[in-house]
Structure formats: structure tokens, C-alpha cells
A and B are shown apart, each in its own frame.
Chain A
């Protein structure tokens, strides 16, 4: 039930966010530059925090170095190189599987 409530609340909030510009702002240039900059920085900051939280930490403290770190490092490298999420995802998955097969 908690999952359902969270999904509905986030779904409604996300729709309002998505509709805000189309229905209310209409002109992105009308946003104050600092507001626009702040909004743009939320994604990188929060997503990076989620990466750090899941990659470096686990229930017992620090996550031991291994295949997770190698996979994410490959995804980051390919993401910088190709500027494409799909390629980054694929590279990270392949690197992870290779590292797992190698016993890391």
C-alpha cells in the first residue's frame, strides 16, 4: 500500500511539474536565470547523490571494491566519450559481467 500511495503522489506531482511550463510558464526566458540554473542543477546533484549512496554504501557501511565500481566506472567513461545514456548503460553492464566472471 505504501508503494501505491508513493507512486500516486509522485505521479501527480510529476505531472504538475511537467505541465507547469506548457500551461503556466509558456516562455522559459521569463524565468529568472538563477531559478532556471537552480532547477537545472537539481538533477545532477540528486542523481549523483543516489549513485554515491548505492555504489559506496550498503547496510553495513562501506561497500567493498569490486564489480559494481568497475561497471559504473565503465559507464562513466563511455558516457563522457559517447554522450549517450544507452551506450553508457551497455558498457557498464558488460564491464560488470566481465568483472563478475573474473571473480571481482
Chain B
């Protein structure tokens, strides 16, 4: 991954940052929509709007944030809401490991910033296009711009959602965002038999276990889903090679 390529990009400063922003641009409408989706839930759920903004700033993961709002408003104990959110975010460990070789040689502060802002859409693009940029400032600025741009759009979406949430008519069914967003996140990412089995078992088990106290049916169903998926032969998840194959956009030619 860290190998030099024959056509390496050497631009620094604005051209590199602009190229990074353009590389992630196709993903920004989705990030904005998810930000709005989370923000719109905050005030109708009688939660503090500033804490809502803080959530997007320090968690920065829509699925787990919506899960927190959903569970807290349903009366689920905070510890269960925390465990569920952490479970949802465990996938970031794989993304982080996949990014490690690309970020080798980056300053610690930039590594920490990128680690802080790891998100599903940005990782494949960074892994696919980042190696085309020369080690050092060109690559650091290009990759940093990918993650920084997506995070900025996500934050704007969150603030718009928080402001617009209370004026969205009840009849629009804001609560519908919860299953819609989770389904939209999960389905495009299922590519292997173990992942499919894990999802189907999780979906079925949560309904069958609906009588469990404290909202434990969600975490229990998740554990059963993982266990079932482990029984199915084959790999799962974003192995570094597959992440690189997922992003099929060519790097920005004019930024060479």
C-alpha cells in the first residue's frame, strides 16, 4: 500500500487539499443527509441541542448516535445505550488497522485527527487514492482533506438538522429516520455470506427476544448474529485489499 506509484502526485497546499475535497465530494450528500437525520431527532426527543452538536463532534458516527437517542428516549438504561453504541462502532478498529500503513510517517497530531474522523465512506477513498500521492506533505494534505471535508459536511448537516428538527411536522414521521438510516447503512455494505447471516440472525433474534428487559434484546441479538456469522465459512468485512477495490473512482487527474 505504501509503495511508490509510477505517476505520483506531488502538489502541496491548496491543490492537494482541493484534490482531497473533490475525492470525497461524491460522499458528502450522504454525510449531510445523515447529519440532518441525527440532528432532527435531538430536539423532538427533548435532548440538549448543544450536546447533540457535541455528539457529532466527538463521536462522529451517525448510526451509533441515532441509536443513543433512540434508546435513551425509549427508556433504555444508559449503560445499555453505551454498550450498543460501542458495539456499532467496533468496525472502526478494522478501518483503523487498514489505514495504518498509509498514515505511516504522518505527524502524530495529524494521525490523531484522522483517527478521530474515521468514517465509513472516507476510508476506501483514502486507501485507494492516497498511495498515488507522494509521501510527506502532498499525501498528508490530500488524506487530511478527505477526512476533514467529510467531517465538516457532517457537522453542518447535524446543525441544520437540529435547527430544522422542531419545525418538521409530526406527520413527516421523523422517527422513521431510525430504521431507514440503519437499513441504508447496512445493506450496501453486506457483501459476504457471513455478513448476510449475521444481519439476518440479528434482525430475527431482536424480534423473537422482544420481551427481554432493559432493551437487552438488541445487544443479545447482535451477539447471536455475530456468533451465527462466525459459523459460516468465508471472510467478512473490510480487509485492506477489498477496501482498495471498493473505491473505483480514479484520482483527480488535474491535481498531478
Q: A residues near B, CB below 8 A?
A: 2-15, 17-23, 25-29, 31, 33-34, 36-57, 59, 61, 67-68, 71-72, 75-76, 79-80, 82-86, 88-90, 92-93, 96, 100
Task: Encode contact with A along B36-76: 1 for CB under 8 Å, 0 otherwise.
Answer: 01000000000110010011001111011001101010100
The answer, yes or no, to whether B213 is at the interface (CB within 8 Å) is no
In the complex, A88→B182 CA distance in Å?
10
Q: Do the beta carbons of B229 and A45 come within 8 Å of each other?
A: yes
- How many residue pairs link A and B with beta carbons under 8 A? The number is 312
- Decide: A75 near B237, CB < 8 A? Known: A36-B94, A39-B94, A51-B186: no
Residue of A nearest to B91 (CB): A43
Contact B184 A88 (CB under 8 A): yes
Q: Are B93 and A45 in contact (CB under 8 A)?
A: no
Closest Cβ of chain B: how far from A80's Cβ, in Å? 6
Nearest to B171 among chain A residues (CB) is: A100
B168 within 8 A of A: no
CB-based contact A3/B116 at 8 Å: no
Q: Chain A residues near B103: list those with CB within 8 A.
A: 22
Given the complex of chains A and B, what is the CA–CA distance between A100 and B172 in angstroms?
8
Query: Which of B91, B99, B120 contacts A39 (CB under 8 A)?
Result: B91
**Known contacts A14-B61, A85-B184, A88-B187; A46 and B207 CB within 8 A of each other:** no
Question: Which listed segment binds A: B6-14, B15-23, B152-160, B194-202?
Answer: B194-202
**C-alpha spacing A104/B194, complex, angstroms:** 35
- State whether A89 touches B184 (Cβ < 8 A): yes
Residue ID in chain A nearest B77 by CB atoms: A2
B30: A residues at CB distance < 8 A: 84-86, 89
Closest approach, in angstroms, between the C-beta of A103 and any C-beta of chain B?
A: 12
Chain A residue numbers with a CB within 8 Å of B85 are 6, 10, 14
11 examples of A-B residue contacts, CB within 8 angstroms: A7-B68, A10-B86, A12-B58, A18-B93, A28-B94, A37-B237, A41-B194, A46-B84, A85-B185, A86-B33, A92-B184
The docked-state distance in angstroms from the alpha carbon of A15 to that of B99 is: 15
Whether B164 is near chain A, meaning CB under 8 Å from some CB there, is no
Partner of B229, one of A10, A41, A59: A41
- Whether A44 and B111, one on each chain, are in contact in the complex, defined by CB atoms closer than 8 angstroms, is no
